[in-house]
Amino acid sequence: MPTFMLSPDVKVKYELSDEQPEQNFDPDNFRSTKRVRVTLDQSEIQEMYDYRLPQERREILEKLLAKYVGTHKFHNYTKQGKAKDKNMQRFMMDINVLEYKVYDGIEFARVFLRGQSFLYNQIRKMMGGVFLIMHYGLPESFIDNTLKDNDVNVPTAPGEGLMLNRVAYDRYNNNRKKDIPEPVKPWDSKTEELENFRIGLVNYIC
């Protein structure tokens, strides 16, 4: 994700969308689902692109991402999820920021997530929750509340840059029968090709 999305300092002007002129947008109200049009002049756009996430905010990002690790109810992180639905429970094994890198003048944070399985739009909404806290200043407890039996509208972050890195069969391989001598490693021979594709995808977005 571009790190300027995590900055509280970038000035953004909001105007009502022509599609919903009768509705007001409240950036402090995380239940808002209003669509808005963002207008920036050239100097503000350049200021946004020049932003670099400082170390103290990198630590906040990692702290927020860590809240998702473990087994939680992710009903607020998918379409029409219900807290009582056991199918909404997911196990996130690991979430890390692998690197911060500048592409075409814009700094990106490369976030790696590993889970047993994912719900529809789950990852994008997880990033949306982090965005609300770091950009709009919602309390860190916001994420904790979304993982409880509450109905909370979590925004969906843009999908550009999100990609499936690999499919792991660790559980199957560790418990495979004796008549299956070789573990399943579908993409091991394609590591270089996958990395080239990832870099090309980022360059295309930029």
Do 47 and 91 lie in a common domain? Answer: yes
Domain count, the chain: 2
Per-residue model confidence as pLDDT tens digits over 61-115: 999 999 999 999 999 999 888 888 889 999 999 999 999 999 889 999 999 998 8
- Answer yes or no: pTM beyond 0.85: no
Do 43 and 54 lie in a common domain? Answer: yes
* Per-chain mean pLDDT for the chain: 79
Do 75 and 140 lie in a common domain? Answer: yes
CATH number at residue 99: 3.30.70.660
Do 49 and 147 lie in a common domain? Answer: yes
- More confident: 51 or 191: 51
Amino acid identity, residue 102?
V
Residue with tokens 């790696």, as numbered in its chain: 112
Q: What is the mean pLDDT of residues 19-29?
A: 41
Q: What pLDDT does residue 186 have?
A: 61
For residue 150, CA distances in Å to 60, 75, 107 come to: 24, 9, 34
Instruction: Identify the domain containing residue 201 by its residue range.
Output: 165-206
User: How many beta carbons lie within 10 A of that of residue 143, not counting itself?
Assistant: 23
Do 184 and 137 lie in a common domain? Answer: no
Do 184 and 151 lie in a common domain? Answer: no
Per-residue model confidence as pLDDT tens digits over 9-18: 544 444 433 4
Cα–Cα distance for residue pair 43/48, rounded to 1 Å: 9
Q: What is the mean pLDDT of residues 113-138?
A: 90
Do 100 and 172 lie in a common domain? Answer: no
Per-residue model confidence as pLDDT tens digits over 148-163: 988 888 999 888 777 7
Residue with tokens 């009768």, as numbered in its chain: 22
Do 104 and 149 lie in a common domain? Answer: yes
Do 200 and 157 lie in a common domain? Answer: no
Do 78 and 170 lie in a common domain? Answer: no
Do 138 and 205 lie in a common domain? Answer: no
DSSP letter string, 81-116 = --TT-GGGEEEEEEEEEEEEEEETTEEEEEEEEEES
Q: What pLDDT does residue 38 have?
A: 60
Q: What is the mean pLDDT of residues 135-141?
A: 87
User: How many beta carbons lie within 10 A of that of residue 198, not counting itself?
Assistant: 14
Q: What pLDDT does residue 71 have?
A: 95
How far, in whole angstroms, is CA 76 from its chain's centroid?
14
Do 154 and 190 lie in a common domain? Answer: no
* Helix or strand (DSSP H, E) at 149: none
Amino acid identity, residue 199?
I
Please say whether the dihedral angle defined by the alpha carbons of residues 50, 56, 59 and 61, taken in this order, is positive or negative. negative
CA torsion, ordered 16, 22, 26, 31, to nearest 10 deg: -120
